Amino acid sequence: MTANPTGFEPVFCTIVPPHVLDTLAQSQDPALATPARRSLERDAIERTRRHLTTVIGAPAVAPPKGAAADKPHRTVYDARHRTELPGRKVRSEGDKPGKDATVNRAYAGLGATFELFLKSYERNSIDGGGLPLNATVHYSEDYNNAFWNGEQMVFGDGDGEIFLDFTIPVDVIGHELTHGVTQYTANLTYFGQPGALNESMSDVFGAMIKQYTLGQTSTEADWLIGAGLLAPRVTGKALRSMKEPGTAYDDDVLGKDPQPADMDHYVRTGRDNGGVHINSGIPNRAFYLVAEALGGHSWERAGQIWYAVLTGGELAQDASFTDFAKLTVAAARQKFGDGEELKAVVDAWTTVKVPTNG
């Protein structure tokens, strides 16, 4: 394959972990197994397509000439249950809401993500340079996922049995777009601990985008990722819990949420790119603990520390949890001194049993 001239790693990131779809695919109920198998097949095709892309991470479309630096440039497409991307354009920047609620939610979620990064972190879109935000809805048939493919967002409608429309939770939209921010900054390798950090960064900013949209403080927030996504028949609250990893669902079909809450329960596996969606529970909980200890809005202090590490240039692509934890300590000290912020960061990593010194 031709060398990648941009330096971006070819990453295909989904919100639903493959182990969840694998479990559903083994169900004896065709209504559950068929959509899961079809979704896994689509993910495999898109993942392969991503790896075969020669120029990775280059913007598909440049910002429009004369575009304001403080405004998003959104376009929503409708795949009409097919798989060709991006599909038919159905809403452009500035268009009024239409009758399709899925299109409207995608458009609003793109805007909410743009706004948080701009107003809280002075970042102009996910690449920092005004990258247009494109999304495709109604992808494939009964598609049980949403993904970032390096250039745009894609949302399935869900099967209606286990998953509902993937535009419903705004944190899912924020999560996937944050994979783009990571792609353009630290570009964390999507395997093992750096892959779990990659996933965790998306959960962290997805949660903050949800809290920002709702005007919630850290104490008021539910710290759930994908709340409202699970169909009524599922025994569970969401895909993941940052506050209590391992408690998001416990269902006869889906099984039990496998996320660990500390390093004593770290899961060693070759599946899911070395457990990137599983072990992300550990840094997720660390961020929650920092935000909870500091109070107020999570994006104001805890988020500033995490953002500084993600974009500061010192986070290696193959960073371990310990590497990341040490950098958050340094960032807390640099931004806030030796006060409560530093203590909150050190205490959080100590609680999840990730060392920050030595």
- What is the longest distance spanned by two Cα atoms in the chain? 58
277 catalytic residue (yes or no): yes
Q: Using alpha carbons, select from 7, 31, 35, 9 the residue that is nearest to residue 21.
A: 35
Can the peptide bond before residue 86 be classed as cis, meaning omega within 30 degrees of 0?
yes
Nearest Cα to Cα of residue 145 among 277, 8, 10, 280: 277
Q: Which of 151, 176, 199, 341 is catalytic?
A: 176
Give one word for 275, left, alpha or beta, with left for phi > 0 and alpha for psi -120 to 50: left
Q: Is 19 a catalytic residue?
A: no
Cα(17)–Cα(231) distance, integer angstroms: 17
- Residue 210 phi, psi dihedral angles, 5° rounding: -65, -45
Sheet holding 13-14, edge to edge: 13-14, 146-148, 153-155, 133-137, 74-78, 88-92
Question: Which residues touch 197 (CB under 8 Å, ≥6 apart)?
Answer: 188, 280, 283, 319, 321, 324
Pick the catalytic residue from 138, 175, 179, 277.
277
Distance CA 238, CA 223 (A): 10
Residues marked as catalytic: 176, 277
